[in-house]
A = this chain, B = another copy of it.
Amino acid sequence: MKTGHDVAIIEVGPRDGLQNVTAFVETAQKVSLIRRLAASGLKEIQAGAFVSPRSIPQFRDMNEVIAGIIALPKVRFSVLVPNLQGAREAVKSGIEKLIFFFSLSESHNLNNVHQTKEASLKGLEVIRRNFSTETPIELCVALATVFGCPFEGYMTTDHILKDIHKIANMGVKEISLCDTVGFANPRLVEEITAACLKDFPEVTFAVHFHNTRGLGLANALRAYDVGIRRFDAAVGGLGGCPFAPGASGNIATEDLVFMFNEMGIPTGIDLDSLLNVSGYLKEILPGVILSSAVYQAGLPQAQISGPKCGAPGGNPPFPTHRDW
């Protein structure tokens, strides 16, 4: 058995997924969902967001949710925080990794977090300074609309690098490059991720793709080719930005894990367990359509059925999984 995982998959379903579900998911169900995700082998899970209950009522029970999961061993939990108040509440609940989010696009930032980019950068600096002496706190920036914005179109790579420079200059060690509305394509992914990895060797980059126009996994593949090793994904393919017109789900964790597994790239995640989590999602959210292709089609191993209709009898000794 191999040890060490070549890629890290960050489960964002409990945050980016549930954020877009109108129905309130009960606290016990959220806790159960997150515990099941952890049990499938996911090592990092975005558990939710410490935001105003008025802006996202889904997360009004964050303290109770965190209390129900924080003792789980071997899992890093993170939450989104919009400001110092959210950051303080998150840390008080026991969370050791904060995700501060803003948008490369001024218009999208105004729509999404109702402040200018300059104000967002100041907010980031306030959080950073406040926790700079508390060593266990990690700070990650989720940078929205990197690959295009519904209001401003495509960004130049120079523009992107300039903004990342400001973030890196504050000492932020991790940045998630987000395709908030599914505008990315493999060539754009290659250009932007290669430039980021080259210009900021001290920063760890993750990518966050939505499958709006079907290119989510192709974009993830290209990011992997370039050297990215951290990927956001949401179980079942839940998710999307409620403040961006037309945005649809994240790439499904099952589909991403399936791709890497089949390519012989270890993820540390048990796909059968993960597919059972999607089954649980269907129980607690019966109206929601899960866009995961692997959830819908099942695994190849389950489809392989042995010879039929006149083929030589019995199951031949065929490989049911490609052995790399």
What is A's interface to B at a CB cutoff of 8 Å?
Answer: 106-107, 110-111, 114, 148-154, 156, 181-183, 185-188, 211-215, 217-218, 220-222, 245-246, 248, 252, 255, 258-259, 262-264, 292-294, 296-298, 300, 303-312, 316, 318-322, 324
Contacts and interface: CB of A to CB of B under 8 A. Distances in A.
A272 B90 CA distance: 47
Given A107-B307, A248-B297, A292 B150 contact: no
A73 B276 CA distance: 53
B292 A262 contact: no
Contacts of A319: 153-154, 156
Contacts of A187: 262-264, 324
Contact of A318 (B154, B211, B217, B248): B154
A248 to B, nearest CB: 6
Contacts of A211: 293
Nearest to A184: B262
Contact of A263 (B185, B307, B324): B185
Contacts of A296: 248
Contact of A221 (B110, B188, B218): B218
6 contacts: A111-B311, A151-B308, A154-B322, A185-B322, A188-B263, A248-B296
